[in-house]
């Protein structure tokens, strides 16, 4: 599948594409508070589009370990005005990073074409809501819950278990009436996984290729990069770019990043080599 229908806007995945992160939160691990004001968020979205982002992922609730839950009305207040403004821009798909069915509905009504759910539509009512909407859906693997997921995660075969989980969620979506042509999958790097789990999953990312769905990869600035390189969050660009290239080479179709311009250049070079005779 090379073209994803995102509520009427098409996302061409015949080459790897960049998803720009836009957190309208006070407490996200990397850019919390930077774009909480709607006008600053929209300005940042436009900047990322100009740098090569095909998708802007708008999130109103941090999913970092230990983050506080955000009430429904507050999450709506944060994301809906930004989605409306960004969706007015041409040639970009807007994604909403949420697990709440009410936010999914409001976001799609405001112009979002992709639902990016770290809980893979397991929250009460989320699967049914996504089935009623015409947006694409990204199903992510996560062991546990965001606030406790890094407390002793365990796997016997991390790549196999992630693939099995995502296979089950794809089947649940199909049973609910969500066509495969609307789905992406995300291995959930950093979500309920140790350093060793993350590295092994990245090494064996091609194990997810058997599902026959586009893979979204989110590794940008994550803590396991800091653990390997001994760098704080603001100094993890090179590690993030290396993992983006490795991920694309193993089949990732969409890479979720904070640093759009640099990432877009890396992906363009990967694609140039892949397309060479």
Q: Which residues participate in catalysis according to the annotation?
A: 222, 256
Query: Counting beta carbons within 10 angstroms of the beta carbon of residue 275, is it exposed (0 to 12), middle (13 to 18) or buried (19 or more)?
Result: exposed
Contact criterion met (CB below 8 Å) for 55 and 95: yes
């Amino acid at each position: 599948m090379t073209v994803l229908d995102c509520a009427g806007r098409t996302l061409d995945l015949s080459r790897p594409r960049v998803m720009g992160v836009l957190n309208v939160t006070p407490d996200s691990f990397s850019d919390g508070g930077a774009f909480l004001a709607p006008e600053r968020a929209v300005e940042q979205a436009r900047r990322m589009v100009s740098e090569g982002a095909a998708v802007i992922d708008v999130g109103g609730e941090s999913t970092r370990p230990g983050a506080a839950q955000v009430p429904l009305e507050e999450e709506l207040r944060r994301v809906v005005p930004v989605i409306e403004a960004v969706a007015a821009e041409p040639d970009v798909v807007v994604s909403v990073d949420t697990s709440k069915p009410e936010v999914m509905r409001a976001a799609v009504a405001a112009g979002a074409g992709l639902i990016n759910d770290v809980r893979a539509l397991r929250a009460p009512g989320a699967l049914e809501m996504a089935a009623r909407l015409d947006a694409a859906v990204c199903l992510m693997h996560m062991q546990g819950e965001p606030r406790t997921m890094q407390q002793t995660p365990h796997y016997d075969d991390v790549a196999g278990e992630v693939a099995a989980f995502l296979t089950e969620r794809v089947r649940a979506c199909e049973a609910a009436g969500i066509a495969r042509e609307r789905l992406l999958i995300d291995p959930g790097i950093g979500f309920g996984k140790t350093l060793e789990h993350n590295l092994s999953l990245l090494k064996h990312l091609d194990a997810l290729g058997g599902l026959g769905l586009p893979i979204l990869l989110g590794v940008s600035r994550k803590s396991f990069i800091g653990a390997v390189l001994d760098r704080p969050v603001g100094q993890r660009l090179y590690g993030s770019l290396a993992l983006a290239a490795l991920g694309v080479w193993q089949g990732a179709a969409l890479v979720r990043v904070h640093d759009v311009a640099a990432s877009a250049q890396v992906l363009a070079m990967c694609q140039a080599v892949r397309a060479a005779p």
